[in-house]
Amino acid sequence: GEAAGASFATRAGCPDQSTACLRGLSVAQILATPVETTPVVDGTFLTQSVGAAFASGAFNRVPVIEGANHDEFRLFVAISTLTAGPTPAAAYPAAIQATLGVPAQVVPLIAAQYPLSAYPSPDLALSALATDAVFACNARVATQQISRFVPTFAYEFADPDAPQRLLPPVAFSYGAAHGSEIQYLFTLPVVFPGPDFTANQRALSEAMISYWTTFARTGQPTSFQTPLWSRYRADRDTVQSLVPPRPRPDAGFAAEHRCAFWDALLSGG
């Protein structure tokens, strides 16, 4: 935490980290100096990382719903294209390294798993690999850890046509991007008007609302109104695919998101 703060101060033009300099920064200067905000393990309030707590069982043991969206990282790539333009094919390796913060020597391994020839554009290739590395496979690891200790219900929100009402259109579909499931559970403000939910999407929304409210009330999500959502078991490795009009079990999550590759790469295996 302290190192991140020092880095921010230096990049913002306050290498002495003085209060006067930092308070004198404009909003534009602060926004131009992004900083990654993560929990700080201080030994008192947070005594270990979230991952370590999940692995050891040192967390509040209550039932959990855990999951990810099918196209999480498309949101962030879209934001990048809106500000900096699309990713050129020649910049794909550099974009992989910058996005994931991995050593240069592993970039060819990642690019081989996600070749540009398999995607309509470099931006969609980058979205796919970052979705898998940052969100999907980490969610699966967390699910496997948590489920050893408490009832866990795993999902993937996977409506490929989920409306995107907070950002303008880009050259590719947002798909089931980061945050796109929230509108199926709550009423959200509309910044960019678009089509209303289809009948199938309304049915999915109703199922999701039932799942979440039933879970809050009973500790498990299934009701007489919804398809069965079974408790996660590592030996079955099945998630509930939240697709319109009826959610269904999906045993292909790990394979689709190349989790064997990412688990080995990110663990140093």
The answer to whether residue 57 sits within a structural domain is: no
d(CA 69, CA 181): 8
Both tokens of residue 219? 């500790």
Report the number of distinct structural domains present in the chain: 1
SS3 of residue 164 by DSSP: coil
pLDDT in tens, 40-73: 888 888 899 999 999 999 999 999 999 999 999 9
Q: Is residue 191 very low, low, confident or very high in pLDDT (cuts 50, 70, 90)? A: confident
Q: Is residue 107 very low, low, confident or very high in pLDDT (cuts 50, 70, 90)? A: very high
| Burial class of residue 107 in the structure, from the number of CB atoms within 10 Å of its CB (0-12 exposed, 13-18 middle, 19+ buried) | middle
**Are residues 48 and 41 in contact, defined by beta-carbon separation less than 8 angstroms?**
yes
CATH code for the domain of 147: 3.40.50.1820
Look up the pTM and report it. Answer: 0.87
Q: What is the pLDDT of residue 33?
A: 82
pLDDT in tens, 230-247: 999 999 999 999 999 999
Angle 74-82-180 from CA coordinates, rounded to 5°: 35
The answer to whether residue 100 sits within a structural domain is: yes
Domain that holds residue 218: 65-266
CA separation (Å) from 228 to 155, 205, 222?
12, 16, 6
Q: What is the pLDDT of residue 178?
A: 98
Residues contacting 82, CB < 8 A, separation 6+: 167, 168, 170
The predicted model gives 64-88 an average pLDDT of 97
The predicted model gives 101-127 an average pLDDT of 97
Q: Say what percent of the chain tops pLDDT 90.
A: 82
pLDDT in tens, 129-160: 999 999 999 999 999 999 999 999 999 999 99
Q: In this model, does residue 269 exceed pLDDT 80?
A: no
The answer to whether residue 82 sits within a structural domain is: yes
DSSP 47-69: -S-HHHHHHHT-S----EEEEEE
Half-sphere exposure of 249 (CA within 13 A, CB side): 12
The answer to whether residue 249 sits within a structural domain is: yes
Both tokens of residue 86? 């699309």
The predicted model gives 15-26 an average pLDDT of 93
The predicted model gives 185-213 an average pLDDT of 93
Q: What is the pLDDT of residue 1?
A: 59
Q: In this model, does residue 117 exceed pLDDT 80?
A: yes
d(CA 85, CA 243): 31
SS3 of residue 18 by DSSP: coil
The answer to whether residue 53 sits within a structural domain is: no
Angle between the N-to-C axes of helices 92-100 and 122-130, in degrees from 0 to 180, rounded to the nearest 10: 30
Q: What is the pLDDT of residue 5?
A: 83
CA torsion, ordered 183, 185, 186, 188, to nearest 10 deg: 0
**Are residues 63 and 215 in contact, defined by beta-carbon separation less than 8 angstroms?**
yes
Least confident of 31-35, 93-97, 232-236: 31-35
The answer to whether residue 46 sits within a structural domain is: no
